[in-house]
Amino acid sequence: MPELRKDPITGRWVIISTDRARRPMDFVRERTPPPPARICPFCPGMEKKTPPEILAYRESGEPNTPGWQLRVVANKFPALRVEGDLNKQGEGLYDRMNGVGAHEVIIETPEHSASMSEMGEKQVADVFFAFRDRMIDLRRDARLRYVIAFKNHGAAAGATLEHPHSQLIALPVVPKRVQEELEGSRRYYSFRERCIYCDILQQELQTRERIVFESDHFVVIAPFASRFPFETWIVPRRHNAHFEASEPAVIQNLGWVVRTVLRKIDKALEKPPYNFMLHTAPLQEGPLDHYHWHLEVIPKLTKVAGFEWGTGFYINPTPPEEAAEFLRDMGLP
């Protein structure tokens, strides 16, 4: 059973894989990438190569057969397991619990070589509808407190399979970086009685220097204190703490917005690897006046080195004002 452990000093949780532990030689071998697999388990016709569907959007066919547009399956090598109790335990100074949670893969399209920036607008929106549908289902499990939905595109960004896919991990704890956003925005709210994200949007829409583009439902910005070059945030105009509570029209529009951001990044930076992750309120919380869901997109352009790890302090060689201008200049698709 994987284990969740808490750092007693900073309160940061980590997942320790205990059953598929990787030994030194595993890492040495990984440095030479394996030859590409000839059979892709995510392609139509290969449905038996994955765990059974948890969710699928399909035009025809039985579950676990071709005819789907999008499939959600359990990760074959999950970081967490659905079964069992949390069994929280102390061990002297330390806290641990069972690695209870879910780890799912969203197979975004039947087409093996389509990248998300090349997909249809509706197909991209469907990925976010799938995130929503899974979150609504997972929040019924009271053990689960947070779902993080994310995508790694390109080997340098951590993707291990080429076929377009994203992932979600449901956790029995709220992760530290999200906790920091929740606390920071709560402090601001207790002082001003306004949502800090709403205020940021207002200020950005006035100065405009960090606006990449706008849509009916979203404002896309290069954040003032960007950690990475060309870091881009997609923020809904209308206050809403919970992504999964978004109206269908908002998610539909998000498909177009995400595709547009990725196309601009592809064009400006010649198809770099990238990550995106959805920041949303904890599953079991009601509506929150102080928090505001958003999507963070980070092209993988620089190597993160000791300085960043050691300090949580980033050196960004591209001012966000310039990044926003470059991305604006790429035009709309």
Mind telling me the catalytic residues? 165
Of 60 and 206, which has the nearer Cβ to a second copy? 206
Q: Specify the amino acid at residue 116.
A: M
Identify residue 181 by its one-letter amino acid code.
E
Residues numbered 172 to 201 that lie near a second copy (CB under 8 A) are 175-178, 180-181, 184-185, 188, 196-197, 199-200
Q: Would you count residue 203 as binding a second copy (CB under 8 A)? A: yes
Site for a second copy in 104-143 (CB under 8 A): none
Closer residue to a second copy (CB): 109 or 152: 152
Kindly state the smallest distance separating residue 108's Cβ from a second copy, in Å: 14
Instruction: State the residue for tokens 């389509």.
Output: 114
Q: Which of 6, 237 has the CB closer to a second copy?
A: 6
Give the position of tokens 């007693």.
8
Sheet holding 68-74, edge to edge: 53-58, 68-74, 102-107, 165-171, 146-153, 274-279, 294-299, 232-236, 218-221, 211-214
Q: Footprint of a second copy on residues 238-267 (CB under 8 A)? A: none
CB of 62 to a second copy, least distance (A): 32
CA distances from residue 249 to 71, 167, 252, 253, 255 in whole angstroms, order as listed: 22, 23, 5, 6, 10
Q: Which is nearer to a second copy, 54 or 295 (CB)?
A: 295
The interface region with a second copy, picked from 36-44, 51-59, 122-130, 301-309 by CB under 8 A, is 301-309
Query: Would you count residue 81 as binding a second copy (CB under 8 A)?
Result: no
Q: Which residue stretch of 57-65, 124-132, 235-243, 306-314 sits at the interface with a second copy (rule: CB under 8 A)?
A: 306-314
Residue-wise DSSP of 150-185: EEEESGGGT---SS-EEEEEEESS--HHHHHHHHHH
Q: How far apart are CA 318 and CA 109, in angstroms?
A: 34
Q: How far is the CB of 285 from a second copy (least distance, A)?
A: 16
156 lines the binding site for a second copy (CB under 8 A): yes
Burial class of 191 by CB neighbour count within 10 A (0 to 12, 13 to 18, 19+) = exposed
Max CA separation in the chain (angstroms): 58
The reply to whether 320 sits near a second copy by the rule CB under 8 A is yes
Q: Which stretch binds a second copy (CB under 8 A): 56-64, 82-90, 168-176, 237-245?
A: 168-176
Residue appearing with tokens 């601001």: 188
Question: Site for a second copy (CB under 8 A): which residue of 34, 35, 36, 310?
Answer: 310
Place of tokens 């069972």: 98
